[in-house]
Structure 1
Amino acid sequence: MGTFQIEGGHSLSGEIQPQGAKNETLQILCAVLLTSEKVTIHNIPDIIDVNKLISLLRNLGVKIEKIGRSNYSFQSDDLNFEYLESEAFKKDGSGLRGSIMIVGPLLGRFGKGFIPKPGGDKIGRRRLDTHFEGFIKLGAEFRYNKEERFYGVEAPNGLIGNDMLLEEASVTGTANIVMAAVCARGTTTIYNAACEPYLQQLCKMLNSMGAKIQGIGSNLLHIEGVDTFTGCEHRILPDMIEIGSYIGLAAMTKSEITIKNVGWEHLGIIPNTFRKLGITIEKRGDDIHIPAHTEGYEIQNFIDGSIMNISDAPWPGFTPDLLSIILVVATQARGSVLIHQKMFESRLFFVDKLIDMGAKIILCDPHRATVIGHDFQSNLRSTTMTSPDIRAGVALLIAAMSAKGTSTIHNIEQIDRGYENIDERLRAIGAKIKRIA
């Protein structure tokens, strides 16, 4: 179990480049299974979850070539289906939640797909019903081996387009169903589809491969099935979650930081949500500039004077992956805020570690926490803690960098799952952080 040792209380300065988006990359990598031709993908982040999926694809028989620091080519012209029935696949697939998205393209192209119950963050119940109900709507037969916790879908005669209303706007569920529906005979409509920028990117990539998808960016997709797909070239967007993390880090450490090439048009309400905490965010071309908040920052109230409430919601609402960052940043603001985590019931349980550091937080229930800001009148205390998941881990890292003294964070593999060489990149702008094996 790896460890970070952080000497807090230092201001940072300089420029930082966000990595490619983790959540988009996991979808895009699965889409390479739809064609036998070469697919080239740029700006792939070097993180644990992505590397696990690349390894899984390689074991499945995908020919993979690294052609640059973050650029790869993939060719799925000779797949090894025996791997899908192997114990090795059960182990590889169960260690990564994103592995579920190989089922859609395999089902669409080959008429069958298998996956062990996938892993991922322990942040509450995350159902797979949406995925498999969508496949069943397209004519697939579903089976589940309860003893081996192994899912399978088959459509030996091919898929048939259908109209469906998703019970939830699941991002991975929508992506999976889309990658199957593009191969179905006839037309499919998906209502209550997720419409996150990363899902839009997937649809645009599929169209460049020969798919016929309309309604991209809305929650109603129209898909006309096609028989074959060509290769393509695609570039991953900057990671909006990492961008939001750096905004929070700059504010908490009173640092002047420029975040380069952020893709402003894809950030939605993220910048304005941080502005509600009183953080100054300047748009400079396609960069975000955060000036040093030497006088602190003040949380807004609603127009009627009531306490600010920040909650998550499916896109274009505020992403749940950044609520932990918002929460930790609020601990040093002037004023109070109610954080409402609607989508996952265990994601706020890391606040006890912030309370141990001196933060004033009332955990109202598994979904809501009230934060009373310190206004930097008292510093968070350094401590030793363990990262429970990716996003909480980075929130704790930000807290440690603002605290006086030296903090220790264990289980940093959770952070490495979503953030590329974060210790090296933060040291480049002045952070005092060491990685201890």
Structure 2
Amino acid sequence: MATFQIEGGHQLKGEITPQGAKNEALQILCAVLLTDEEVHISNVPDIRDVNKLIEILGNLGVKIQKLGKGNYSFKSDELNLEYLESQQFKDEGSSLRGSIMIVGPLLGRFGKGYIPRPGGDKIGRRRLDTHFGGFIKLGADFRYNKEERFYGVEAPKGLKGADMLLEEASVTGTANIIMAAVLAKGKTTIYNAACEPYIQQLCKMMVAMGANINGIGSNLLHIEGVDKLSGCDHSVLPDMIEIGSWIGLAAMTKSELTIKNVSWNDLGIIPETFRKLGITVEKRKDDIYIPAHTNGYEVASFIDGSIMNISDAPWPGFTPDLLSIMLVVATQARGSVLIHQKMFESRLFFVDKLIDMGAKIILCDPHRATVIGHDFQSQLKATTMTSPDIRAGISLLIAALSAKGTSTIHNIEQIDRGYENIDTRLRAIGAKITRFD
């Protein structure tokens, strides 16, 4: 288990460029299974979860070439589908939640797909009903081996288009169903589809491969199935979660930072949500400039004067992956804010570590926490902690970089799952951080 040692209390300065988006890359990599032709993907982040999925694809028989940093070619013309029912796949697939998205393209192209119960962050219940309910509506037969915790879907006669209303706007569920539907016979309509930029990117990639998809960017998708897809070139967007992390880091450490090439048009309400905490987020061409908040930042209030409430919602609402960052940033704000995590009931359970550092937080219930900001009158204190998941881990790292003294964070493999070479990149802008393996 690796560890970070962080000497906090230092101002940072300089430029930082966000990596490719983790959540998009996991979808895009699965989509290479839709064709036997070569697919080129650039700006792929070098992080644990993505590298693990690339390894699974290689074991499945995908021919993979690394052409340069973040630049790959994939060719899925000679797949070994027997691997899907092997113990090796059961072990490898169960450790990565993103592996669930190989089922849709395999089902659409080969009429069958299997997956062990996937892992991922322990942030609450993350049901798979949306995925398999969609496959069943497309004509697939579902089976589940409870003893081995192994899922399977089969459609030996092929899939048929269908109309469906998703119970929840699941991002990975929507991605999986789309990838199956593009090769189904006839027309599929998906209502209450997730419409995050990463879903839009997936759809645009498949359109470039020859898919027929209308309604991209909305929650109502119309898909006319085609017989075959071809290869394409695709570039992954910058990671909006990492961009939000750097905004929070700059505010908490009173640092002047420029975040380069952020793809402003794909950030939605993220900049405006940080502004609700009083943080200056300035657009400079396609960069974000954060000045040093030497006088702190003040939480806004609603028009009627009531306490600010920041909550997550499906796109174009505020992404749940950034609520942990907002909570940490609020600990040093001037004023109070209610953080409402609606989607996952275990995601706020890391606040006890912030309380140990001196933060004033009231955990109202598993979904809500009230934060009373210090206004930098009382600095957080260094401590020893363990990273429970990716987003809590980066939040604790931001807290440690702003704290007085030297903190230790164990289990940083969780952070490595979502952030590329984070210690090296942070040292380049002045952070005092050391990795111990």
User: What do the CA deviations read for 1:253-288 (whole angstroms, capped 9, x no partner)?
Assistant: 000000000000000000000000000011000000
Q: Distance in 2 between matches of 1:83 and 1:413?
A: 27
| Structure 1 residue 91 displacement after superposition | 0.4
- In structure 1, C-alpha distance between the alignment counterparts of 2:84 and 2:283, rounded to whole Å: 47
- Number of aligned pairs? 437
Partner of 1:262: 262
1:53 maps to 53
What residue number does 1:217 align with? 217
Corresponding residue number in structure 1 for 2:69: 69
1:249 is paired with a residue of what secondary structure?
helix
What SS is found at the alignment partner of 2:49? helix
2:231 alignment partner in structure 1: 231
Other structure's SS at 1:363 match: strand
Distance 2:228 2:369 in 1: 50
Matched, 1:10 2:45: no
Q: Normalising to structure 1: TM-score of the pair? A: 1.00
Cα distance between partner residues in 1 of 2:95 and 2:155? 26
Q: 1-side partners of 2:429 and 2:70: how far apart?
A: 22
For structure 2, the residue ranges without an aligned partner over 5 or more in a row are none
Distance 1:405 1:114 in 2: 49
1:389 alignment partner in structure 2: 389
CA shift at 1:82, angstroms?
1.4
Alignment partner, residue 192 of structure 1: 192
Partner of 1:159: 159
The offset of 1:224, in angstroms, is: 0.1
Which residue in the other structure is 2:403 paired with? 403
> Aligned AA for 1:106?
L
Segments of 4+ moved more than 3 angstroms: none
Whole-Å separation in 1 of the counterparts to 2:107 and 2:411: 36
Q: Which segments of 5 or more consecutive residues in structure 1 lack a partner in the other structure?
A: none
Q: Which amino acid aligns with 1:276?
A: K
Matched residues in 2 for 1:260 and 1:225: separation?
A: 39
What residue number does 1:123 align with?
Answer: 123
**Residues of 2 paired with 1:161 and 1:282: CA distance?**
46
Q: Distance in 2 between matches of 1:229 and 1:92?
A: 28
Q: Does the residue aligned with 2:91 lie in a helix, a strand or coil?
A: helix
- Find the counterpart in structure 2 of residue 183 from structure 1: 183
Aligned residue runs from structure 1 range 310-325, under 5 A: 310-325=310-325
Q: Does 1:242 find its partner at 2:238?
A: no
Equivalent residue number for residue 429 of structure 1: 429
Amino acid at match of 2:54: I
Structure 2 counterparts to residues 326-337 of structure 1, below 5 A: 326-337=326-337
Residue equivalent to 2:110: 110
2:34 and 2:69 map into 1 onto residues whose CA distance is 25
CA shift, 1:85, in A, is 1.1
- Whole-angstrom CA distance in 1 between matches of 2:54 and 2:185: 30
The Cα shift of 1:57 comes to 0.1
Map residues 279-358 of structure 1 onto 2, 5 A cutoff: 279-358=279-358
Query: How far apart, CA to CA, are the structure 2 residues paired with 1:143 and 1:202?
Result: 27
Deviation at 1:344, TM superposition (A): 0.3
- Give the 5 Å matches for 1:72-91: 72-91=72-91
Cα distance between partner residues in 2 of 1:82 and 1:215: 36
1:81 Cα deviation (Å)? Answer: 1.1
Match of 2:135 in 1: 135
Q: Which residue identity does 2:203 align to in structure 1?
A: C
**What is the identity percentage for the equivalent residue pairs of Structure 1 and Structure 2?**
83
Deviations 1:344-395 (A, max 9, x none): 0000000000000000000000000000000000100000000000000000
Partner amino acid for 1:14?
Answer: G
Counterparts of 1:83 and 1:188 in 2: how far apart (Å)? 30
Q: Report the CA distance between 1:16 and its aligned residue.
A: 0.2
Q: How far off is 1:120 after superposition?
A: 0.1
Distance in 2 between the 1:196 and 1:342 partners?
17
2:73 counterpart SS class: strand
Deviations 1:312-353 (A, max 9, x none): 000000000000000000000000000000000000000000
